[in-house]
Amino acid sequence: MKKRSSVTFIAVLIALAVIAYGLYRYGHTVPGLRDIPLLQKTHEHTLKPVLTAEGEIDYWTCPMHPSVRMKDPGTCPICGMELTPVMKDTGHESQGAPHETGMPEGEDHSGHVMEGASPDAAGGKPKTEFTVSPERQQLIGVKTTPVAMRSLDRTVRTVGIVVLDETKVERVHTRFSGWVDKLYVNYTFEHVHKGQPLFSIYSPELVSTQEEYLVALRSKEALSGSGYPEISGGSDALLEAAERRLRLWDVSQGQIDELARTGKVKENLVVYSPVSGHVLEKNVFPNSYVEPGTVLYTIADHSSVWVEADVYENEVPLVKIGDEATMTLASLPGREFTGKVTFISPHLDMKTRTAKARLEFPNPDLNLLPEMYADVVIDVPAGEMLAVPDSAVLRTGTSDIVFVSKGGGRMEIRAVKLGAKAGVYYEVLDGLSDGELVVSSARFLIDSESKIQNAVASWQEDGGGHSH
């Protein structure tokens, strides 16, 4: 009986010892137990410095999860990696001030806390500067890029449709009435050359004017030797008037010279093509009667074409008349055409929010046909300007933020004002100076969304990045 009591007593002592150790070691993780004064007194311990050959260890952390801070060496509770020591007085992540995590100072900090974003001792506001040691930066792959003057030539990509060059479309008509006698070009889309006969026409008015010209010509020849200047001068005036009337009716100088040389009136006048191109319209038939001004043929010169491209409203200010452009077409694979911007519409389409840009392209081999679809790239020269890589910019929705490296592991959260983007660079309008270093690969530095939110929120509470 006495032996059984001794065994029971020893078992109770062991159980009490286990419970006491468990409360001491893990009591802070059980809701309500942290409020017990006894446990609070037994749990008040801090990160006691440890002296090594390299210096004084502040805490232990994980290279891949900087938010993990332990008072003793071991492994990371997240990834299992060996913890590395962080020395005091070397510009490392912690300055010894406890973070607002709801945990007593010195406990294992497994929550996400932005490094160095501790409250300011004077005003209780978060600092905009934090520190990451060079060794840590190397471990997490932080890279910096200098802010510098760069050539930010942009490209505006759009689509367009090939159309006719309106300045090279000719409409053939007569300035006198008459009957069409013969057609030399009798179908649409026929290719014609400049000076090629189109049709011949009989006009009583034209015949009488030719006769008047010949009479005036003979009178001048007969009176050229007259001793009376008034008479010879009058004949000259009649000849000039008759010739002028023929020219006003689109009779060429060659035809007038032939009339003067042969002295024979032509009943049928041949009308020639004014340009080389393709016949788009033919509104004339043999033996038909035509009135002055009636469009008989429409001929388009395809040696150059226009491309009408749609430019979005945010890119319209970038495009200027004279900008170089290149064009490719799915119907002509492997071909690239070079042209330039000749016109930008002053009106915006309300539905598509685009403006028409007109580009001109040479078409010597006539491969570019109207209504073809084209992919257009307009080169927009912007010149030299201060620029920062787009990978260095953190866009929060209300502001644009960069991490500026101050040297010695010190970094600063800074708001910047950005302009247009060209390739992988943003134009810097305000907030950075030439030569400053910005973090261009900060994915590991701002490892988790909660760390980003904590740092940016604290920084914004300090007044940064908001426009009031």
Across the range 366-378, mean pLDDT stands at 94
Residue pair 81/64 in contact (Cβ under 8 Å)? The answer is yes
Across the range 382-397, mean pLDDT stands at 84
Encode pLDDT of 426-456 as tens digits.
889 999 989 999 888 854 554 443 354 455 5
How high does pLDDT run on average in the chain? Answer: 77
Judge if pTM exceeds 0.85.
no
Q: Is the pLDDT of residue 219 over 60?
A: yes
Residue pair 112/67 in contact (Cβ under 8 Å)? The answer is yes
pLDDT-derived band at 113 (thresholds 50, 70, 90) equals very low
**Could you say which DSSP state residue 126 is in?**
B
Structure tokens at 375: 């992919």
pLDDT-derived band at 333 (thresholds 50, 70, 90) equals very high
Tell me what pLDDT residue 449 has.
Answer: 36
| Angstrom distance (rounded) from CA 323 to CA 73 | 64
Q: Is the pLDDT of residue 228 over 90?
A: no
Across the range 10-22, mean pLDDT stands at 60
Tell me what pLDDT residue 155 has.
Answer: 85
Beta-strand relationship, 169-172 and 394-395: unpaired
Tell me what pLDDT residue 444 has.
Answer: 52
Q: Which CATH architecture has domain 144-153+384-443?
A: Beta Barrel (2.40)
Q: How far apart are the first and last CA of the chain?
A: 84
Tell me what pLDDT residue 255 has.
Answer: 87
**Could you say which DSSP state residue 213 is in?**
H
Encode pLDDT of 236-293 as tens digits.
788 888 888 888 888 888 888 888 888 888 888 899 999 999 999 999 999 999 999 8
Listed in sequence order, the residues at least 6 apart from 11 whose beta carbon sits closer than 8 Å to its beta carbon are none
Across the range 343-360, mean pLDDT stands at 94
Tell me what pLDDT residue 199 has.
Answer: 95
pLDDT-derived band at 306 (thresholds 50, 70, 90) equals very high
Encode pLDDT of 66-82 as tens digits.
778 888 899 888 888 88
Residue 205 pairs in a beta bridge with: none
CATH dotted code for 156-166+301-380: 2.40.30.170
Tell me what pLDDT residue 105 has.
Answer: 39
Tell me what pLDDT residue 93 has.
Answer: 42
* Of 145, 252, 170, the residue nearest 206 (C-alpha): 252
Structure tokens at 456: 């940016």
Give CA separation, 27 vs 34, 71, 220, in Å: 7, 17, 131
| Angstrom distance (rounded) from CA 106 to CA 343 | 70
| Angstrom distance (rounded) from CA 207 to CA 211 | 6
Tell me what pLDDT residue 22 has.
Answer: 58
Encode pLDDT of 116-162 as tens digits.
444 443 444 445 777 777 777 777 778 888 999 988 778 899 999 99
Across the range 36-60, mean pLDDT stands at 53
